[in-house]
Structure 1
Amino acid sequence: MSERLPPLKALVAFESVVRLGSVTAAAEELFVTHSAVSKQIALLEGWMGQPLFRSNRKRMQPTAEAAALAEVTERAFGLIAEASAVLRRGEAAETLRVIAPSTFAMRWLIPRVWSFSRARAPIALQVRPTDSLEDWQEIPFDVAIRTDPRAPRHLEARPFLAETLVLAAAPRFLAARRLAAPRDLAATGVIRAATRPGQLEAWSAAAGLDRIPDGPSFPHFYLALEAALAGEGPLVSPFETLCDLFAKGELVALWPDIRVAGPTHVALFDAAAPHAGAAEAFIDWLTATAGESRPAAKAA
């Protein structure tokens, strides 16, 4: 086991740095020195055999591969925390299986779900991100979060979060270009994600443009998002799902008044299933949390 796993102390430091965005903030959270965190990051990079952050260490921007590792690590630590809380309270946990689209799970749900686990410790959540190419109905679940309005008749559907779509880019992309009006995008192009058909066209129409040249194209939205965060170009983005990135300034809305309606997230569950009570409690939490996490978009 020790040969397969990276140093766990280094993983703790790494996850904290990625989540908080700086070594200083991670050191404060972990009650250690700045130097101690830096040494753990260097140790983990040595174990991995590659750098985990981009060359500009002031921003501590993880590479795409490191960002994926941080998301998985955060999820694993969350599961450990849930199990530990149950043991400390001496309660038998009721497991609730939740499936959700990968970007929504990683960028919105998992960073918030600790608050549900803290309040409802007897309910142990298992969150499984799903890929757009997977048949979600073949995956065991108690709650399924989807954006497709169609659902099997035996499942009850409860909408909880309506998306709005904005055009967004990383500050590093905007710093090198002058974009005074949407027509200036003709010189840059816009990143496309194959799993979000029609969204760029809808935004273009709202901006009064017939067509925007294509920029880089990716098969999945989460890959397109990483490219946008790396400064490769603007991307039509779901504002509510990515609200944390907007709040931190890692994404900036170009012409934030130009918005179009996006998909609505719906929670599906079987009201006759054994875990229906826990499912409804979780959906109530989803609805309340969605109403609380709506920061204003920072404009370019």
Structure 2
Amino acid sequence: MNRKVPPLKTITAFESVIRLGSVTKAANELFVTHGAISKQIAALEDWLGRPLFEANRKQMRPLPDAVTWAQTLAQLLDTLDSSAAQMRGDQRARPLQVIAPSTLATRWLIPRSWHFSEQHKTIALQVRHTDTGENWQEIPFDVAIRTDRDLPAAMPSRKIFEEQLTMALSPRLAAQANLWRPADILKLRLLASQTRSGELERWLAAASLSGAGTAISEFPHFYLALEAALAGGGALVCPRHTLADQFARGDLIEPWPQIRVAGPSFHVLWRDRTETPPDVQLFVDWLEKQSSPHFGLATEPS
């Protein structure tokens, strides 16, 4: 079979840049130079015949479909890593398959997963994101993270955090908009997604506002709306906990933190009702610790 796949080094560099959000961090993780990562990204774009990032390379903002592809590549690399460990006869690396909603997986869980791997080197953590509409119960998993709207009674579960929704936008757009009161947000383009319907209307109601007559751009998926918000394309109602890193780094700002509405609660669950497997218990305990408000950025040790 003649498979047309890009060189492994280019894939590894690209996935690391997307996951860590930085060429410098990717270079440190892979023990190469900043220039070497940039060279591999350029080689991958040349192989594909198209760009993966926006034209302004100082920001290194990935294009939306590049983010989706990187998530797929991450799963493939995890599988390759696990199978290679088995071929080496490394019995210490036990795979632990975790599935989680797309935004939570890519923006919160995966950036923190290295903490777990550092603490538990005998467990090969494999994170797979799920999209709205997928039947996640048909996907192989040891641990699943779901919202309270999607909890099967047949599986044991534990709540890890309750989400809050807030209006957010890029610092650049906020500086241009001259926001003083909540009603000023209606001067901007508002962003929404079909997968999170009703969240914009709920925030506007909490702020005693009506969106009638306001320009609203609706995207099919939240991650596309989020990329638009990060790029300064409008204001978006965002999950405050899930995007904690983006707020902490200043990629997003929250003009009115006093106006938040309740979002879904997230729960961790597993299949075995009789006895919790030891590796699952370790991950659940770690996840609860990471979900604590006392923990900060994904780059901070736990």
Report what 2:197 is aligned to.
197
Secondary structure of 2:100's counterpart equals strand
CA contact (8 A) 2:20 2:111 kept: no
Runs (5+) with no aligned partner, structure 1: 296-300
Report what 2:259 is aligned to.
258
State the Cα distance separating 1:34 from its structure 2 match: 3.9
Aligned counterparts of 1:9 and 1:150: Cα–Cα separation in 2: 38
- Superposed, 1:39-58 pairs within 5 Å as 39-58=39-58
Aligned counterparts of 2:19 and 2:134: Cα–Cα separation in 1: 28
- Superposed, 1:17-32 pairs within 5 Å as 17-32=17-32
Aligned counterparts of 2:11 and 2:189: Cα–Cα separation in 1: 37
* Per-residue CA distance 1:109-164 (angstroms, 9 max, x = gap): 12222322333344333333222212333334332211134633322220001111
Secondary structure of 1:191's counterpart equals strand
Report what 1:298 is aligned to.
none
Change (3 A) 1:20 1:265: closer
Change (3 A) 1:37 1:272: closer
Change (3 A) 1:152 1:44: closer
Secondary structure of 2:108's counterpart equals helix
State the Cα distance separating 1:22 from its structure 2 match: 4.5
Q: Give yes or no for the alignment of 1:166 onto 2:163.
A: no
Aligned counterparts of 1:23 and 1:283: Cα–Cα separation in 2: 31
State the Cα distance separating 1:9 from its structure 2 match: 1.9
Change (3 A) 1:277 1:66: same
Aligned counterparts of 2:17 and 2:139: Cα–Cα separation in 1: 33
CA contact (8 A) 1:270 1:276 kept: no
- Superposed, 1:138-149 pairs within 5 Å as 138-149=138-149
Change (3 A) 1:193 1:136: same
Percent sequence identity is 49
Secondary structure of 1:62's counterpart equals coil
- Superposed, 1:1-300 pairs within 5 Å as 4-81=4-81, 90-91=90-91, 93-149=93-149, 151-211=151-211, 213-272=214-273, 276-291=277-292, 292-294=294-296
Change (3 A) 1:254 1:73: farther
CA contact (8 A) 2:166 2:254 kept: yes
Q: For structure 1, which segment, 78-87 or 117-126, has the greater mean C-alpha deviation from structure 2 after superposition?
A: 78-87
State the Cα distance separating 1:284 from its structure 2 match: 1.2
Q: 2:278 corresponds to which letter in structure 1?
A: G
Aligned counterparts of 1:3 and 1:162: Cα–Cα separation in 2: 44
Q: CA RMSD in A?
A: 2.9
Q: 1:12 corresponds to which letter in structure 2?
A: T
CA contact (8 A) 2:169 2:235 kept: yes
Aligned counterparts of 1:200 and 1:165: Cα–Cα separation in 2: 9
Q: How many pairs are equivalent?
A: 295
Secondary structure of 1:43's counterpart equals helix
Change (3 A) 1:202 1:122: same
State the Cα distance separating 1:262 from its structure 2 match: 1.3
Secondary structure of 2:62's counterpart equals coil
Aligned counterparts of 2:100 and 2:28: Cα–Cα separation in 1: 32
CA contact (8 A) 1:105 1:129 kept: yes
Change (3 A) 1:8 1:290: same
Q: 1:187 corresponds to which letter in structure 2?
A: K
Aligned counterparts of 1:9 and 1:163: Cα–Cα separation in 2: 37
Aligned counterparts of 2:22 and 2:283: Cα–Cα separation in 1: 32
State the Cα distance separating 1:229 from its structure 2 match: 2.0
